[in-house]
Amino acid sequence: MPNSRKIKIAAIQTVSGPDVAANLEAAGRLIAEAAAAGARLVALPEFFVLISGDETAKVRLREEEGHGPIQDFLAGAARQHGVWIVGGTVPLAAASPDKVRNTSLVFDDHGERVARYDKIHLFGFQKGEEFYDEGRSIEAGDDVVVFDSPAGKVGLSVCYDLRFPELFRAMGMVDLIVLPAAFVHTTGQAHWEVLLRARAIENQCYLLAPAQGGRHPHGRRTWGHSMVIDPWGEVIACREEEGLGVVVAELDFDRLAEVRQSLPALRHRRLAW
């Protein structure tokens, strides 16, 4: 656990479109805003660099691990602003030539990459004419990822992972879960906040959820409501409106310890998978 008992963390909300340069410019401005507000760890949403009606666009944009302009941007921003960055998700090369890995990359405040998580659960949904099947263009990951940071022990997850509590249990005892997302408006309106609060409550940790939020150029609408939740399940910061923005909140290690001491549910577990 860090020496300081409190640390500021930030969730960035974007409404990304097909223009990669414009998306990176917006992300850069918001990272700078979060850093200026005192955040030490900043998280971007899922596919902050590209959301397009063309499913093959992300495949054409994919980068090899450790090389490429998107990864250079994240490393440079972390180094420039002296913050840890959870790079939402980035399309990285997959085994299949027509797919990507939907990858969350973490860079420390020196611009060094310290963690990689490939989204495990791939979203599928159909209701009327609204249809999504991420498996058509994304290759699923397999590994649970936890890393040490100024915000304590951090577990990584992405969007649809939120519906699978066994993933979060497999992280062990973490201080913070980061969940970059692009929840569609339909499912986000119904389930986003309640699932985020449930994951924070049952794992007795903070949860940082940066999201896409608004109407995208090709017509897709994402729910937004980027937020930070404390270990008691209270929403301590949230962007209620659509559009670009930054949500900053304080992670308090004394609060974390208090919740776990008063209700030691993690120690009371009897079953493990």
Coil, helix or strand at residue 227: strand
Give the whole-angstrom CA distance, residue 167 versus residue 173.
12
Name the residue range of residue 140's domain: 6-262
Amino acid identity for residue 139 in this structure:
E
According to the model, what pLDDT value does residue 272 have? 72
User: Residue 167's domain is classified under what CATH number?
Assistant: 3.60.110.10
Flag whether 23 is in a domain. yes
Tokens describing residue 215: 């109407």
Confidence (pLDDT) at 8: 98
Domain count, the chain: 1
Length of the chain: 273
Each residue's pLDDT, cut to its tens digit, for the chain (273 residues) gives 555 599 999 999 999 999 999 999 999 999 999 999 999 999 999 999 999 989 899 999 999 999 999 999 999 999 999 999 999 999 999 999 999 999 999 999 999 999 999 999 999 888 877 777 899 999 999 999 999 999 999 999 999 999 999 999 999 999 999 999 999 999 999 999 999 999 999 999 999 999 999 999 988 999 999 999 999 999 999 999 999 999 999 999 999 999 999 999 999 999 875
Residues in contact with 271: Cβ distance below 8 Å, sequence separation at least 6, in sequence order: none
pLDDT digits (tens, 9 = 90+) for 167-180: 999 999 999 999 99
pLDDT at 3: 53
* pLDDT at residue 127, rounded to an integer: 80
Instruction: Return the DSSP state at 45.
Output: P
Judge whether 267 lies within some domain.
Answer: no
- Reported in sequence order, the residue ranges of 94-129 that DSSP labels E, i.e. its strands, are 100-107, 113-118, 124-127
**170 lies in some domain:** yes
Note whether residue 270 is domain-resident: no
Residue 272 lies in a domain: no
The residues annotated with a catalytic role in the active site are: 46, 119, 159
Residue 1 domain-assigned (yes or no): no
Asked if residue 273 belongs to a domain, the reply is: no
The tokens describing 87, both together, are 């790079």
pLDDT score for 90: 98
The pTM for the full model equals 0.96
Distances in whole angstroms, Cα of residue 25 to Cα of each of 66, 161, 252, 269: 21, 28, 31, 46
Spatial separation of the C-alpha atoms in residues 100 and 28, rounded to whole Å:
24
What are the two backbone dihedrals, phi and then psi, of residue 49, each rounded to the nearest 5 degrees? -85, -20
The per-residue pLDDT for 125 is 81
Q: Percent of the chain having pLDDT more than 90?
A: 92
Which residue's structure tokens are 């290690």? 253
Instruction: Please tell me the distance from the alpha carbon of residue 89 to that of residue 101, in angstroms, as a whole number.
Output: 9
